[in-house]
Amino acid sequence: MTKTGELGFRQLGSHGPLVSVVGVGTNNFGSRLDRQGAERVVHAALDGGINLFDTADIYGGGESERFLGQALRGRRDEAVVATKFGMRMAGVEPAEHRGAPAYVRRAVE
């Protein structure tokens, strides 16, 4: 990454990537924000020197990860994506933990 602007960066671990100290949460991608809105947010963040994006497979019913991937097309090398998995949100039902090996394999592919 060549552009740092005024933002601070930290290295993840001793050999990991440099990430901006400010990140973008994508919980609204696929719910409050459509694909075009998500793309505008991602591009503005990258243009402003933010390279850390946080998502999860449950955000936006799965659309968050999809929208983020589409928005990063052609710029993927500029971003660090943090994601998480293990919870299933079900309408009015309580959240449910998912840790079966088959689910974990699918989540990280």
Tokens 């991602």 sit on residue: 42
Amino acid identity at 34 = D
Helix residue ranges per DSSP H, the chain: 35-47, 63-71, 101-108
Helix 35-47 to helix 63-71 angle (10° resolution) is: 50
Residues 29, 53, 59, 67: which is the catalytic one? 59
Does 103 qualify as catalytic in the annotation? no
Contact assessment for residue 31 and residue 58, using Cβ atoms and an 8 Å cutoff: no
Catalytic residues: 59
